[in-house]
Amino acid sequence: MKLALVLDFDGTITTSDIGVEIIKKFAGSGWEEGLNRWRAGEINQSQLMEWDFALLPRKQAVEMREFALEKAELRPGIRSLLELCSANDVPIEVVSNGMYFYIEAVLERESLSDLAFVAPIPTLVGPGPDAGSVVEFGDGVETCDRTGLCKCARARRMREGDRKVVFVGDGISDFCVADEEADFVIARSSLLDHCVETGMAHSEFSDFDDVARELKLLLAQ
């Protein structure tokens, strides 16, 4: 079986959600209002993302990057998984609704700069939602009114050559791609709960050794 692998970043490649950690530390108390409005159904995930980004202080960009590097820890087994994919012609893309600057910094620190990834690129103009939020997504990256960056579109791109898409993720922004585009879902945390609640076929992972075992089974088919 020919496969392609799509990976979430925060809480998947990393053991914690670095974006949330940054928002909690640098955005001040205003981030809680946005979260409450999202929980109440007043705004969607994309609007919550822009709300949070707008609260980040532009003068602390360097501090936020350093904070991300301090907090970021890779989930065990990622390097072995990447080696497995390379040896078996399995293309990989990391698709995230986090922030480009800290994902780039973490991958660079870990000598993984060659790993393809897409993520929102915020221009820090805050703090304060009244300041607005400028978010770019890069050439050819489709957006979604619901979640921001469209993970479904990225998964569709990976089907070239009749490949089956394996999606690995953990969060609410992963629900769409798991529901609509992935051929195989490997999940933890909120995405795992979603799979169980909806009866979606899935596998569970705690580290990337689990993911590698699932890939080997699929590759053998």
Mind listing the pLDDT tens digit of every residue in the chain (221 residues)? 999 999 999 999 999 999 999 999 998 778 889 889 988 989 888 888 888 888 888 888 899 999 999 999 999 999 999 999 999 999 999 999 999 999 999 999 999 999 999 999 988 766 655 555 578 888 889 988 888 899 999 999 999 889 999 999 999 999 999 999 999 999 999 999 999 999 999 999 999 999 999 999 999 99
Q: Does domain 3-219 have CATH number 3.40.50.150?
A: no
Yes or no: say if 22 and 171 are a contact pair by the CB < 8 Å rule: no
Task: Report the distance separating Cα 140 and Cα 210, nearest Å.
Answer: 32
Residues 6+ apart with CB under 8 A from 56: 22, 23, 26, 27, 64, 122, 124, 126, 127
Contact (CB, 8 A) for 120 and 136? yes
Query: In the chain, what are the domain boundaries?
Result: 3-219
Grouping H, G, I as helix, E, B as strand and the rest as coil, residue 147 is coil
